[in-house]
Structure 1
Amino acid sequence: MIIREIKDSFIMIRQHDHAFLSGELIKHFKPSLLKSDAFFDDALYAAYQHDRSWIGLDETPIWNDREKIPYTFSDYPLLPKLAFYKIGVDEIERVNTYASLLCSLHFSSFFSQSKNKDCLVFLTGEARRQMELKESFPDLDEELLQQHFRLLQFSDNLSLYLCLNEPGADKEDEHPWFKNGFQNTEMFHPENQPLMSRWVNENEVTLDPYPFDMDFDVSLPYKVVTKGLIEEMGIAEAYIESDMEEKKIFFHQ
């Protein structure tokens, strides 16, 4: 679950909805910024499906007693998170081999600096998976694979940008992850700089340089779950009882 706390409520966004938004963004990515159009549909599938491991977990939000907020994707207990990451990539692999390779690379990148033994076991398993999946593509273009991997990371981060920021936030008030642009997007910038985004107003976003081939809009489903309702019935029931809402966001140059 993606959580943004406001005065008397929590904005709660399911991970799979955020991932769908990732796909909707990348659907409009300029083809000229990639080495070729080979495997683009597979990379797009990876963006849409990369967080399917959270579908079951997000059905029942759980409470973080220490922080006094619902658990989020970033602080969710490690062992179940690792187990469900593996399950999610397994499910993607049964449908699309190339997409599962991208998702495996994506999740492995989260723990690349970790010394935790459970993370190291996860990384070892995913490295084995990646090696086996690459054998399915004897003429694999490693440069294009790297572009698609960075594109998946960008789609994830741009969607998170929409989820974690107050709509219309000034640059200095943005979530700290994004104030200096999107990491690992230099290959999509003509001057080898990170792509930068900003809110034009509470309904519009633009990027510099603009990496999409047209203006378009996306829809973000979310729930506003009040702290009073959580206190009354607990986080799981409060989430169920809260109505799903939708935010439309326009992208333009």
Structure 2
Amino acid sequence: MIIRDNGQEFIMIAQHEHGLLSGVIARHFQKRFFLAPNRYEEVIVAISEHDRGWIKLDDTPIWNDAESVPFTFVDYPLLPKLAFYQFGIEEVEKLSPYAALLCSLHFASFSDMLPSAPQEFTDFCKEEQNRQQQLKHRLGVVDESLLQAHFRLLQLCDDLSLYVCLNEPGAAKADEHPWFRSGFEKAKGFVSGGADLPVARWIGAKEIAVSPPVFEHRFSASLRAKHVPKPLIKELGIGRAYSETEWTEHEFIFSNG
């Protein structure tokens, strides 16, 4: 779950909703980023479905007593999170082994952000490395440079969607979430080939401009969220309050900056 707190309510975005937005964003990237037309749809599947392991977890949010907020994707208890990462990858594999390979690379890459990873995560990464070898064997000859390009595209589309989800619409650069304030670090050199980072900025409350240019054209996309009132959580508990809150559809525009 991705969560923002505006004081009166929690804006709660299910991970799979964020993933679906990632996929919409990917479909509007310039075709040069895909490199191999025969892999296009499989890459889109990987990007769209990369967080499908969260569907069951997000169906019933749980409360973080220590912080008096719902658990988010960042601080959710590790063991169930890892188990559902693997469940999600297995579901993606039924759709496309190549997409599952990309998703496995994505989740195993989280170790780069954990300087002292717990043993459970180390074990998870070893299991995913084994899965990756099995998938490569099943796929036959895999072009490693192409695979890495598709993996980096997944990461950038994931981060662009997170940029929308984690920031208040229209946020000034100084007020943006710190992860992306200076640009998309994981995409360094991916867009332009140089050392510069791709950067996003808000143009008003509904439009996000990205530079250097990555999109074929300006486009609109929607994102579903639930605005769960804090008094309702106090009355019903987080699980029931979330369930009884209606979805709100948010429309955004993406353009080249």
Regarding TM over 0.5, the answer is: yes
After superposition, give the CA deviation of every residue in 1:43-76 in whole Å (9 maximum; x if it has no partner): 1100111011011111101000011100000100
2:102 corresponds in structure 1 to 102
CA contact (8 A) 2:34 2:40 kept: no
Q: Which whole-Å CA distance do the structure 1 matches of 2:141 and 2:175 have between them?
A: 46
Unaligned runs of 5+ in 1: none
User: In the alignment, does 2:228 pair up with 1:225?
Assistant: yes
TM-score normalised over the length of structure 2: 0.95
CA contact (8 A) 2:97 2:139 kept: no
Shift in Å at residue 190 of structure 1? Answer: 4.6
* Percent of paired sites with the same residue: 47
SS of match in other structure, 1:66 = coil
Match 1:156 to one of 134, 155, 158: 158
User: In the alignment, does 2:192 pair up with 1:189?
Assistant: yes
Shift in Å at residue 34 of structure 1? Answer: 4.1
Instruction: Compare 206-215 and 190-199 and name the one that shifted more.
Output: 190-199
2:205 corresponds in structure 1 to 202
Q: Which whole-Å CA distance do the structure 2 matches of 1:216 and 1:52 have between them?
A: 24
SS of match in other structure, 1:55 = helix
1:145 corresponds in structure 2 to 147
1:72 corresponds in structure 2 to 72
TM-score normalised over the length of structure 1: 0.97
Whose helix proportion is higher, 1 or 2?
Answer: 2
CA contact (8 A) 2:9 2:230 kept: yes
Shift in Å at residue 218 of structure 1? Answer: 0.5
Residues 10-49 of structure 1: pairs in structure 2 closer than 5 A: 10-49=10-49
User: In the alignment, does 2:8 pair up with 1:8?
Assistant: yes
After superposition, give the CA deviation of every residue in 1:133-156 in whole Å (9 maximum; x if it has no partner): 111233311111001000111111
Q: Which whole-Å CA distance do the structure 2 matches of 1:132 and 1:143 have between them?
A: 18
Instruction: Compare 109-118 and 223-232 and name the one that shifted more.
Output: 109-118
Match 1:250 to one of 243, 247, 253: 253
1:215 corresponds in structure 2 to 218
Q: Which whole-Å CA distance do the structure 1 matches of 2:59 and 2:142 have between them?
A: 38
Alignment coverage as a number of residue pairs: 253
Q: Which whole-Å CA distance do the structure 2 matches of 1:50 and 1:21 have between them?
A: 11
What is the root-mean-square deviation of aligned Cα atoms in Å?
A: 1.2
Residues 87-126 of structure 1: pairs in structure 2 closer than 5 A: 87-112=87-112, 113=114, 114-126=116-128
Shift in Å at residue 159 of structure 1? Answer: 0.5
Q: Which whole-Å CA distance do the structure 2 matches of 1:209 and 1:115 have between them?
A: 34
Is the alpha carbon distance of 1:123 and 1:190 closer, same or farther for their aligned partners in structure 2, counting shifts above 3 Å?
closer
